[in-house]
Structures are given as structure tokens and as C-alpha cells.
Copies of this chain bind each other. A is one copy, B any other.
Amino acid sequence: MYKLALIGAGRIGRIHATNAHAHSELALAYVVDPVCANADAVCAATGAKRATVDEVFEDSTVDGVVIASSTDTHLDYCLRANGAGKAIFCEKPVDLDLGRAEGAEAQLAGARLLVGFNRRFDPSFQRLKAMLAEGAVGRLESLQITSNDPSPPPVSYVRVSGGLFVDMAIHDFDVSRWLLDEEPGEVFAWGSCLVDPEIGAAGDLDTARTLLRTASGKLCVISNSRRSGFGYDQRIEAFGSAGMTCAKNVTTSTVEVWTEEGVRSDPFSNFFLDRYSVAYQAEMAHFAEVLSGRRQPLVTFSDGVAALRLAVAATRSRETGAPVTIHPA
């Protein structure tokens, strides 16, 4: 059993706590959260104890930490946890400041550190990746990533989120890198505020299209909206020299109703915790493998930085109206 501490017991932290508790190789020992109610709820459900960050890092029996605190603390906690010799599961994004993140890259290069890009652990997206790997559609030529949230977050959140590209599309930048198997070299983005003028007033977008191009000419389109109107819209099309493979939306049941108005299928999963519940479990199971040394982390700190780099480039392209070339640090 590996002993874990959770830092940050908000919505996503609680998911990780539940999954760690249920995993046969993991034991959640400590919960850190300045909000007592959050921490206590997790403790009651899992038998963990409250602790401070310092206590966690100083306790040599703690094998790993799950960092699900506010984004501005991620980098600091990663560095401290790594210094204390602990394995790290860090929520995305690794930081909002690309320069700071790049500055830590060398230091965290060898860390047992898994960045929480949960989509890489979704069974359907993994299956799609496997189809590409086994050549089911030949040589990959282009990607279409559709990623629309069910409904926009509060404007108060939008204001501190880092903007649509850094906050929301960063998952899609990670997925694009993972599937393209080649680094995007150029980014072009257009955005609009069509869903809610308050979002525009807060300086952000709610609708965007981003183009990525690799050195070999592969093209990727990322389509984002903060509000789909029909649930969590998470689809991928990967187009190759011998066909196309795609992952479709997940529905809440297999039930259909056939009437004179046509065939109505049940809605898509609406909530990200439902849509990706299996992915979150698999992600935690992978962290157990990293802890045990059986596997290297599938998503490294450098992957976190690279996704942030694309998000920052898309933000700049959208501001300048011109394509942006990517220069790895």
C-alpha cells in the first residue's frame, strides 16, 4: 500500500480521494485544505486525517501527493514534493505562467510526476490512439478535436481562469500532441464571444477555432465552445491515409424512443465527472503504477509545459490575428 496525501479537497480533489481510497494499492492518509469542511468531508469518507502541507512534506512515510489545490500553488508544491522525494500527481495546468513553468522544466525532468490530463485515460480515446498505433487508418494526416462544455462557468471564474485557451482548450492541446505524435510548429486561432456577453466583458472568449500545423504538414482543428446546449461534447476524428477513426460522445443510456417525429436517443453525459469517471479511475490506477515503479508517467511535467505553450500561442494568435510559431524553450 502506498500512502498518499491530498492537497486541495475541492471538487476534483474529492474525486481523486475517492478513487485513491478504492484502489487496492493506495491508501489516503492525509488531506490538506484550508477550508475545514472540504477536508473533513474527505476524511469522513476515507478515514484520512487532516494535515498541513508542511506535515505532509515532512512525513517520510508519505509516498505520494495529489496536488489539486489552486493553480497558482501547483508549481511550488510540485517542486517541494519532488524535493521531499515524493511521487506527484499534479492537476492541470502546471502553471498559468509559461516562463515560470519552463524555468522548472529541467528540475522536474526526472521526477515521478504525473500531470492530470485525464482525457489520455479515457477508454475510447485510448482505443482511438491504439487504432492509430496499429495503423488502422494508415498514416495520420489530420485531426478534428471537438470539445464543448455543457455550460459556461461563472464569470467570476472566467476572470481568473487564464482565458479559454489556457483554462479549457489546454486539454485539447494535450490531446492533439498525444495523437499527432509530432510537435505542432504553428498555431492560428480565432475566437468570438457569442454565448454570453459577460464573458466578453471579462476579457475572454466563449467560442474558438484553433488550427495547428506540424512540420510535416499535419493539420489539426480544435473547436471549442463554453456551452453546447446538449451536454458534454467531446469528440475526436483522426483522419489518415487509409480512412478515419473517431471517438463519439458518451450517452447516458442506450435507450431510444421511436415515434412519428423520428428516433430520439438519450442525452449525452452532461457533467465532466460522469463523462470521465472511468478516466479518473484509470488515471489514479496509473499513478499507482508510477508509485510502484512499474511504469513511467504517461504525462510528464514537460507535457504539461508543452500544452501550456500551445495555449499561450493560441492566445497570442487570437490577439494579434496572425499565426504564431512555436519555439520550444
Contact = CB atoms under 8 A, between A and B. Distances in A.
A208 B231 CA distance: 30
B266 A223 contact: no
A23 to B, nearest CB: 11
A1 interface: no
A246 B24 CA distance: 38
Interface string A27-48: 0000000000000000001000
A141 B207 contact: yes
Interface in A88-146: 123-124, 127-128, 131, 136-138, 141-142, 144, 146
A194 B241 CA distance: 8
Given A211-B211, A254-B250, A144 B223 contact: yes
A57 to B, nearest CB: 31
Interface stretch (A58-66, A69-77, A162-170, A212-220): A212-220
A246 B256 CA distance: 5
A242 B266 contact: no
B142 A229 contact: no
B221 A223 contact: yes
Interface of A: 22, 24, 45, 123-124, 127-128, 131, 136-138, 141-142, 144, 146, 148, 188, 190, 192-195, 207-209, 211, 213, 217-219, 221, 223, 225, 227-231, 233, 239-268, 270, 321-323
Given A247-B253, A250-B254, A322-B322, 19 more contacts: A22-B22, A127-B255, A128-B255, A138-B229, A141-B192, A141-B194, A144-B144, A188-B190, A190-B211, A192-B219, A207-B217, A221-B223, A225-B239, A227-B241, A229-B258, A229-B259, A242-B259, A244-B257, A321-B323
